[in-house]
């Protein structure tokens, strides 16, 4: 037998063994995770089925609408049962200590009286919520968690009830509305709220804004606000304004509730000049106007509020919290001051992972980011994880809709655009496309059989229901669709059997979508259209590009959701081109929203619809709706609008919407089983959030002390300016110590560079390297079309919040968006500061990472504790990786070809093959299902908002940190095991090892002192790429495991084109790479004597 045969057989045997083991492992995993393939339906208990159907029922009984506010006689005074006398134990302690006045003084003699749907509650507890970004917290606080307005919706919409207003009256033609304010209401700092606060907005703040508030205009003319007395104001309009109460409930109509005593000092022209100048310098504001509106930010702890919970403590990173407002003016029927809940805690997670947190029972009450696609998972885990799933009525009457663009731009460079505009503007084409969709099939496949075919319409539960609109061209009739398309002249076909334009050219339409609405049934629809010869392709767009194309009218079809159609008075854009977010006619909507209907010169006349068009008729009818307060007349007028929409098929929807799922933790009470859900109704505030309560508090004594402290103490961000002391705030000794540590490290590096030219050369090379990286980073981020501002404006207009649109527009000045890109780079890098010495121009070279566009906060502050936690996780990962890799690598090298070596090799290969995000998901799944453990996050709930560090917090972090360390380290550890094994085997075969062994050197000391030391060189050399790699590759792991690290911040900034945040974070990664390389050079200098004696002096 030839000599090579036996080794070959051994090799093939081992290969077969490994392959068999791998196949068996994959088969076992496949069987473990395989879905049930049974075809017969599961047996269902009739009683259980009835209960589930009842749970899904969101029918609204218009004759029995729930109301939480109670009418009382304020003349009864202190003798009344509702008169303020009860309060949270946390506040009663502060009253006894003389830190707060008595509750009756804090609420005033005319408090709003509310009673929850289950009655009187008890005090205490923390309501845990989740949002998708830190910037979204402010938008959630107002209006969703405040409900702060003169008037307020009830849980199911109507009736509109008083809130800050005690009542109202109007004249016969509804052109004058008199509002009576409650006496004794106070801002959260204890200052009285009166008519002067509203008049300050009207006289002083409103003129600072561009244009005029559309919600105060009638027939294109601005109304007027006058003060009657301290608690009475009058709104006067040039004509009837029958829908004024609905307008007052709108989110964009809350901005006029301004604390004069706080904001007046920052007024750009009439404020305290010395204070404004000093604050601008300290906080880096460019203009006094920009500073003023920055002070109005919802997350400014110093700004007084009228909300049930107030933001009192700045935190650089989530979780963030709001605590009870001690001056909130609402009580229950027994005189207990509301709210019952002490605190709301906000964490931040990826939207796709929020349903997982809800299903794990981690959240108290969550309705946002809970889609119906999570229905089965949420329902299956109810009993095990201690929560219920409520079903609320969706105000948006479509989960997913197509909008044909009748304003399609005709572009010379795009010959097909003219043909597209002609077809998209023809109602017969839109009708045919709607008829070609097999809605019953989609409902069964996508929506689990829930819903019925429908266009966007108010719905059967609405007073404005219109059956003709709902069923407009919703039948599945491909034969009729084909006939209509033939009648349009689309009879020619290409080689694929698809229709051509009438001139014989290729016909293809694009369906643009973002992650907001998702793909939904788009593939079903494109397949259905292909069956009638219409070619359409879906295009997933980034928000920026989507916004740019929509605002320039270059899109064919867009995908979006409905918004507020249940009450078209509040949001009519699906039926009337009321603004540029009317996706089916954005140009006409832009013209109308700018006052074009009444000849406003700022409106672009070329965007106006023809006066004989159905679009213009819709505008005319809607203007009549706004003038009348008679509901029957409003319904009659809207029916005419709906008839126009039904015939024209302005939008193409698939089905009636599914209920809004609401996850409610067991023991969280007074939450209505049904309430209206929608942005325009400020959900969940309309459900009576002040009355929600815990059967048993979930706070520790330490947490209650922290809440009590936050109630009384305002903690602004570092480096803001203190208006009382006229001094800038600092980080105190911690900042000084940190700077001293950095200075010492810098001196040490310079010393090493001087002593060892090898290091000095590296230091010199770092300068041009970082310069090139900074230029490349900044310019690459700016390359995609659109910008952060355009995206935010799109989102605000989507929600119908024109007030927010104007606030976002101001960011253009604050962030110099319109400056040339080279000048933006000079400012961001800090080079411009050397020519201006203006604090606003401080940049990277001055240690300033800029301000985040998303949060308007300093990037330095935003990364805050995230940097520390990222360093801790990264160092722990490196230690774990090296400890395991060196140990296993040494064992495998010295025990080559043993069973242990094969086992370690197999495990290493598995580790290298499994992506760390998959490993994270598997650990989450198994720990949750079989161990009942939640392994996400770095801290337990009781330590989430604890400021600073304590022994308990450190120990708690150590209990959680092992999961991310193992997950992030898995792939790298497996790879380094192979590297260590190979390097050590090479060293062990070298002559010096044989010679030393022959001279009687003991194996272990010899192994450690020489071969292992030499084999470590690749480990050390890898540091340069390891540090940034841990952050960037660990970003997805951090998102999945909800870790407060810098990786998710970077990813979010890149996706939203938050230039300052993204560019600064990428520069941090670049610096880590360069510094890591320098660190590896220093360690190699110490580890390898050849470098010290040969290269270190060259």
The DSSP 8-state label assigned to residue 208 in this structure reads G
Neighbours of 196 (CB within 10 A): 14
Query: What is the β-pairing status of strands 676-677 and 387-394?
Result: parallel
- To 5 degrees, how large is the angle CA 333–CA 338–CA 341? 130
State the pLDDT at residue 747. 78
Contacts of 1090 (CB under 8 A, 6+ apart): none
Mean pLDDT of 135-151: 87
pLDDT of residue 38: 63
Report CA 1024 to chain centroid distance, whole Å.
33
- Nearest residue to 423 (alpha-carbon basis) of 405, 402, 397: 405
Give the residue from 55, 59, 39 showing the smallest Cα distance to 47. 55
Per the prediction, the chain carries an average pLDDT of 85
Q: Identify the three-state secondary structure at position 697.
A: coil
Residue 272 lies in a domain: no
Average pLDDT over residues 602-629: 94
SS3 state at 724: coil
Place of tokens 């009736």: 159
Q: Is the pLDDT of residue 942 over 70?
A: no
Q: How confident is the model at residue 996 (pLDDT cuts 50, 70, 90)?
A: confident
Do 253 and 389 share a structural domain?
yes
State pLDDT tens for residues 726-737. Answer: 776 665 544 555
Give yes or no: residues 370 and 468 share one domain.
Answer: no
Evaluate whether 504 touches 557 at the Cβ level (below 8 Å). no
Q: What gap in Å lies between CA 439 and CA 997, rounded to an integer?
A: 81
Of 144, 128, 131, 137, the residue nearest 363 (C-alpha): 128
Which string of DSSP letters, residue by residue, matches 94-143?
A: HHHTTSS--HHHHH-SS-EEE-BTTB------EEEEEES-TTHHHHIIII
Residues 17 and 93 both lie in one domain: no
Angle formed by the axes of helices 899-913 and 859-894, to 10°? 150
On the question of pLDDT at 252 being above 90, the answer is no
Pairing between β-strand 676-677 and β-strand 721-722 as defined by DSSP bridges: unpaired
Q: Where are the strands (E) in 660-705, listed by range?
A: 660-665, 668-669, 676-677, 693-694
Does residue 123 sit in the same domain as residue 139? Answer: yes
Q: What is the pLDDT of residue 1026?
A: 66
Distance CA 548, CA 588 (A): 17
Any idea which residue has 């064992």 for tokens? Answer: 891
Lowest mean pLDDT among 185-194, 517-526, 579-588, 1074-1083: 1074-1083
| 336 lies in some domain | yes
Look at residue 940 in the predicted model and tell me its pLDDT: 73
Q: Classify residue 765: in a domain, yes or no.
A: no
**H-helix or E-strand spanning residue 15:** helix 5-33
State residue 791's pLDDT score: 60
Nearest CA to 715 among 300, 1068, 213? 300
**What pLDDT is stored for residue 806 in this prediction?**
55
> What does the pLDDT read at residue 799?
45
Bond preceding residue 143 cis, omega within 30 of 0 = yes
Taking alpha carbons only, the member of 368, 464, 306 closest to residue 682 is 368
Comparing 238 with 900, the larger pLDDT belongs to 238
Asked if the structure places residue 635 within a domain, the reply is yes
3-state SS assignment for residue 392:
strand
Give the dihedral of Cα atoms 441, 442, 445, 446; nearest 10 deg: -170
Cβ(219)–Cβ(238) below 8 Å: yes
3-state secondary structure of 53: helix
975 lies in some domain:
yes
Check residue 785 and give its pLDDT. 62
Task: Quote the DSSP letter at residue 174.
Answer: S
> In degrees rounded to 5, what are phi and psi of residue 759?
-75, -40
Distance CA 21, CA 906 (A): 10
Which range, of 298-307, 449-458, 886-895, averages the lowest pLDDT?
886-895
Residue 718 has pLDDT above 80, yes or no: no
Predicted confidence at residue 797, as pLDDT, reads: 52
Instruction: Kindly report the CATH number assigned to the domain that includes residue 879.
Output: 1.10.3720.10
Q: Which among 366, 359, 351, 356 is positioned nearest to 380, based on CA atoms?
A: 359
Give the model's pLDDT for residue 1093: 59
* 74 within some domain: no
Tell whether 881 and 901 lie within a shared domain.
Answer: yes
pLDDT at residue 820, as a whole number: 84
Distance in Å from the first CA to the final CA of the chain? 58
Q: Helix (H, G, I), strand (E, B), or coil: what is residue 179?
A: strand
370 plus 221 within the same structural domain: yes
Question: Based on the number of CB atoms within 10 Å of its own CB, is 85 exposed (0-12), middle (13-18) or buried (19 or more)?
Answer: middle
Note the pLDDT of residue 1030.
64
- What are the tokens at 809? 């527009």
Q: Among 835, 857, 879, give the residue marking a domain's end.
A: 857
**Token pair 């003349």: residue:** 75
pLDDT at 1061: 79
pLDDT of residue 734: 47
744-769: pLDDT as tens digits = 767 776 776 677 676 777 777 777 88
Q: What is the pLDDT of residue 333?
A: 97
Structural domain for 313, as ranges: 80-258+296-395+660-711
352, 132 contact by CB (below 8 A): no
Which two three-digit tokens encode residue 731?
A: 């980080």
Q: What percent of the chain has pLDDT over 70?
A: 89
1036 near 1058, Cβ under 8 Å? no
The edge-to-edge listing of strands for the beta sheet with 320-324 is 126-131, 343-348, 320-324, 309-310
Distance CA(689)–CA(674), nearest Å, equals 14
Three-state DSSP state, 438: coil
**Partners of residue 177 on adjacent β-strands:** 170, 235
Residue 1051: its pLDDT value, please? 77
Residue 226 has pLDDT above 50, yes or no: yes
| Spatial CB neighbours of 1063, under 8 Å, sequence gap ≥ 6 | 774, 777, 778, 781, 828, 850
Tell me the torsion sign for CA atoms 800, 804, 810, 815.
Answer: negative
What does the alpha-carbon distance between residue 923 and residue 127 come to, in Å, rounded to a whole number? 27
Largest CA distance in the chain: 113
CB of 616 closer than 8 Å to CB of 623: no
Whether 357 contacts 158, CB under 8 Å: no
Q: CA–CA separation, 848 vs 929, rounded Å? A: 46
Among residues 433, 439, 332, 376, which one has the least CA distance to residue 85?
332
CATH code: domain of residue 490: 3.10.105.10
pLDDT at 1096: 47
- Say if residue 492's pLDDT is above 90: yes
How large a percentage of the chain has pLDDT more than 90? 45
pLDDT in tens, 843-900: 888 777 777 777 767 777 777 667 777 778 878 888 888 788 888 888 888 888 788 8
- pLDDT band per the 50, 70, 90 thresholds, residue 800: very low
Residues 285, 261, 233: CA angle, nearest 5 degrees: 120
Residues 1 and 118 in one domain: no
Are 569 and 539 in a shared domain?
Answer: yes
pLDDT of residue 1025: 64
Nearest-10 Cα torsion for 681, 684, 689, 693 = 160
pLDDT in tens, 619-656: 999 999 999 999 999 999 999 999 999 999 999 999 99
Main-chain phi, psi angles of 594, to 5 degrees: -90, 10
Q: In terms of Cα–Cα distance, which of 980, 977, 1079 is closest to 1028?
A: 1079
Which of 485-494, 691-700, 805-814 reaches the highest mean pLDDT? Answer: 485-494
Q: Check whether 790 has a pLDDT greater than 70.
A: no
Give pLDDT tens digits for 314-326: 887 778 899 999 9
Q: Tell me, what's the pLDDT at 353?
A: 83
845 and 907 part of one domain: no
At residue 1027, the pLDDT reads 66
Tell me, yes or no, whether 478 and 615 share the same domain. Answer: yes
- For the segment 130-146, the average pLDDT, to the nearest whole number, is 85
Mean pLDDT of the 1028-1047 span = 74
Exposed e or buried b per residue across 839-858, where buried means at least 16 C-beta atoms within 10 angstroms of its C-beta: ebbbbbeeebbbbbbbbbbb
- Backbone phi and psi for residue 613, each to the nearest 5 degrees, phi listed first: -85, 160
Residue 588 covered by a domain: yes
- Looking at residue 163, its pLDDT comes to 96
Q: Which of 96-110, 973-987, 1032-1046 has the highest mean pLDDT?
A: 96-110
What's the pLDDT band for 1029 if we cut at 50, 70, 90?
Answer: low
Determine the Cα–Cα distance for residues 625 and 333; give it in Å rounded to an integer.
Answer: 38
Q: Which residue has the higher pLDDT, 157 or 761?
A: 157
Number of structural domains found in the chain: 5
Residue 757 maps to a domain? no
Could you give the CA distance from residue 195 to residue 406 in angstroms, rounded to a whole number? 46
Torsion of CA 753, 757, 761, 764, to 10 degrees: 40
Q: What is the pLDDT of residues 83-96, one digit of tens each?
A: 999 999 999 999 99
Tally Cβ neighbours within 10 Å of residue 639: 16
Phi, psi of 584 (to 5 degrees): -80, -20
Residue 580 is predicted with a pLDDT of 86
Q: How far is CA 613 from CA 610, 620, 820, in A?
A: 5, 11, 42
Q: Is 643 or 21 the better-scoring residue by pLDDT?
A: 643
Quick one: three-class SS letters along 999-1030? CCCCHHHHHHHCHHHHHCHHHHHCHHHHHHHH
Q: What is the average pLDDT across 106-131?
A: 96
| Domain match, 782 and 689 both | no
Is 798's pLDDT higher than 50?
no
Q: What is the pLDDT of residue 1089?
A: 66
For 86, list phi and psi in degrees, rounded to 5: -100, 155
561 and 606 fall within a common domain = yes
């Amino acid at each position: 037998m030839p000599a090579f045969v036996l080794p070959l057989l051994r090799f093939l045997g081992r290969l077969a063994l490994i392959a068999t083991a791998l196949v068996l492992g994959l088969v076992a995993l496949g069987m473990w995770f395989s879905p049930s393939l049974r075809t017969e339906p599961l047996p269902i208990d009739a009683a259980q089925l009835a209960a589930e159907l009842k749970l899904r029922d969101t029918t609204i009984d218009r004759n029995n609408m729930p109301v939480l506010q109670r009418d009382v006689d304020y003349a009864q005074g202190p003798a009344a049962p509702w008169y303020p006398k009860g309060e949270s134990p946390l506040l009663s302690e502060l009253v006894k200590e003389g830190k707060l006045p008595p509750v009756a003084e804090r609420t005033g003699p005319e408090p709003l009286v509310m009673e929850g749907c289950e009655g009187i509650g008890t005090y205490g507890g923390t309501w845990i919520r989740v949002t998708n970004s830190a910037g979204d917290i402010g938008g959630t606080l107002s209006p969703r968690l405040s409900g702060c307005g003169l008037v307020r919706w009830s849980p199911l919409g109507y009736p509109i009830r008083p809130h800050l207003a005690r009542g109202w009256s109007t004249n016969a033609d509804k052109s004058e509305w008199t509002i009576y304010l409650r006496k004794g209401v106070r801002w959260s700092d204890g200052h009285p709220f009166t008519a002067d606060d509203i008049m300050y907005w009207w006289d002083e703040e409103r003129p600072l804004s561009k244009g005029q508030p559309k919600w105060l205009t009638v027939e294109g003319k601005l109304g007027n606000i006058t003060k009657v007395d301290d608690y009475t104001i009058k709104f006067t309009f040039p004509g009837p304004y029958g829908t004024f109460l609905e307008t007052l409930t709108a989110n964009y109509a809350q901005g006029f509730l301004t604390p004069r005593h706080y904001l007046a000092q920052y007024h750009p022209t009439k404020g305290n000049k010395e204070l404004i100048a000093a604050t601008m310098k300290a906080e880096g504001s460019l203009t006094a106007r920009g500073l003023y509106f920055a002070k109005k930010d919802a997350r400014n702890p110093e700004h007084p509020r009228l909300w049930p919970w107030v933001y009192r403590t700045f935190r650089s990173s989530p979780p963030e919290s709001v605590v009870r407002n001690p001056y909130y003016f609402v009580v229950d029927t027994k005189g207990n001051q509301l709210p019952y809940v002490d605190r709301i805690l906000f964490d931040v997670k990826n939207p796709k992972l929020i349903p997982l947190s809800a299903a794990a029972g981690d959240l108290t009450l969550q309705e946002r980011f809970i889609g119906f696609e999570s229905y089965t998972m949420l329902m299956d885990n109810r009993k095990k994880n201690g929560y219920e799933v409520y079903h609320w009525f969706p105000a948006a009457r479509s989960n997913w809709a197509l909008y044909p663009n009748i304003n399609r731009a005709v572009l010379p460079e795009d010959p097909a655009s003219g043909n597209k505009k002609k077809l998209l503007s023809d109602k017969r084409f839109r009708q045919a496309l709607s008829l070609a969709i097999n809605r019953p099939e989609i409902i069964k496949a996508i929506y689990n059989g829930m819903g019925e075919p429908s266009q966007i319409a108010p719905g059967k539960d609405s007073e404005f229901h219109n059956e003709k609109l709902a069923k407009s061209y919703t039948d599945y009739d491909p034969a009729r669709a084909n006939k209509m398309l033939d009648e349009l002249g689309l009879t020619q076909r290409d080689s694929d059997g698809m229709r051509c334009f009438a001139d014989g050219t290729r016909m293809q339409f694009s369906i643009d979508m973002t992650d907001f609405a998702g793909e939904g049934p788009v593939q079903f629809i494109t397949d259905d259209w292909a069956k009638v010869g219409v070619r359409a392709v879906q295009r997933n767009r980034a928000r920026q590009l989507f916004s740019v194309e929509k605002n320039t009218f270059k899109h064919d079809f867009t995908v979006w959701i409905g918004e507020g159609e249940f009450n078209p008075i509040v949001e009519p854009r699906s039926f009337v081109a009321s603004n540029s977010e009317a996706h089916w006619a954005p140009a006409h909507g832009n013209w109308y929203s700018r006052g074009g209907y009444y000849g406003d010169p700022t409106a672009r006349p070329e965007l106006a619809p023809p006066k004989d068009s159905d679009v213009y008729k819709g505008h005319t009818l809607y203007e009549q709706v706004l003038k009348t307060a008679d509901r029957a007349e409003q319904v009659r007028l809207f029916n005419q609008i709906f008839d126009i929409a039904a015939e024209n098929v302005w939008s193409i929807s698939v089905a009636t919407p599914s209920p809004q799922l609401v996850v409610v933790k067991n023991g969280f009470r007074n939450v209505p089983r049904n309430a209206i859900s929608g942005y325009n109704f400020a959900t969940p505030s309309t459900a009576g959030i002040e009355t929600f309560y815990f059967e048993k508090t979930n706070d520790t004594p330490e947490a209650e002390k922290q809440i009590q402290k936050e109630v009384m103490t305002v903690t602004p961000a570092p480096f803001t300016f203190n208006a009382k002391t006229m001094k800038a705030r600092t980080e105190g000794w911690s900042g000084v110590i940190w700077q001293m540590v950095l200075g010492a490290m810098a001196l040490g590096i310079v010393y090493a560079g001087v002593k060892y030219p090898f290091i000095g050369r590296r230091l010199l090379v770092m300068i041009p390297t970082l310069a090139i990286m900074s230029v490349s980073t900044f310019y690459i981020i700016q390359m995609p079309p659109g910008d952060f501002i355009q995206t935010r404006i799109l989102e605000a207009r989507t929600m119908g919040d024109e007030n927010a649109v104007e606030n976002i527009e101001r960011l253009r000045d604050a962030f110099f968006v319109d400056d040339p890109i080279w000048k933006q780079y000079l400012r961001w890098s800090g080079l411009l500061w050397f020519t201006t010495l203006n604090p606003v121009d401080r940049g990277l070279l001055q240690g300033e990472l800029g301000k985040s566009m998303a949060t308007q906060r300093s990037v330095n502050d935003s990364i805050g504790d995230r940097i520390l936690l990222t360093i801790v996780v990264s160092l722990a990962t490196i230690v774990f990786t090296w400890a395991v890799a060196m140990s296993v690598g040494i064992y495998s090298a010295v025990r080559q070809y043993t069973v242990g070596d094969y086992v370690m090799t197999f495990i290493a290969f598995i580790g290298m093959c499994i992506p760390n995000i998959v490993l994270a998901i598997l650990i989450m799944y198994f720990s949750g299902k079989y161990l009942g453990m939640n392994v996400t996050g770095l801290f337990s709930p009781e330590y989430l908002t604890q400021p600073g560090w304590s022994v308990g917090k450190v120990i708690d972090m150590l209990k959680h940190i092992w999961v991310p360390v193992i997950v992030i380290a898995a792939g790298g550890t497996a790879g380094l095991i192979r590297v260590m094994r190979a390097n050590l085997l090479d060293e062990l075969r070298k002559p010096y090892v044989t010679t030393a062994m022959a001279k009687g050197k003991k194996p272990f000391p010899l192994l450690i002192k020489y071969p292992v030391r030499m084999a470590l060189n690749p480990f050390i050399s890898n540091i340069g790429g390891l540090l940034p790699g841990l952050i960037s590759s660990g970003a997805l792991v951090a998102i999945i495991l909800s870790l407060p690290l810098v990786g998710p911040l970077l990813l979010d900034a890149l996706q939203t084109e938050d230039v300052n945040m993204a560019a600064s974070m990428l520069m941090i990664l670049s610096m880590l790479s360069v510094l890591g390389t320098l660190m590896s050079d220093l360690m190699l200098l110490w580890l390898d004597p050849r470098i010290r004696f040969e290269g270190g002096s060259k």
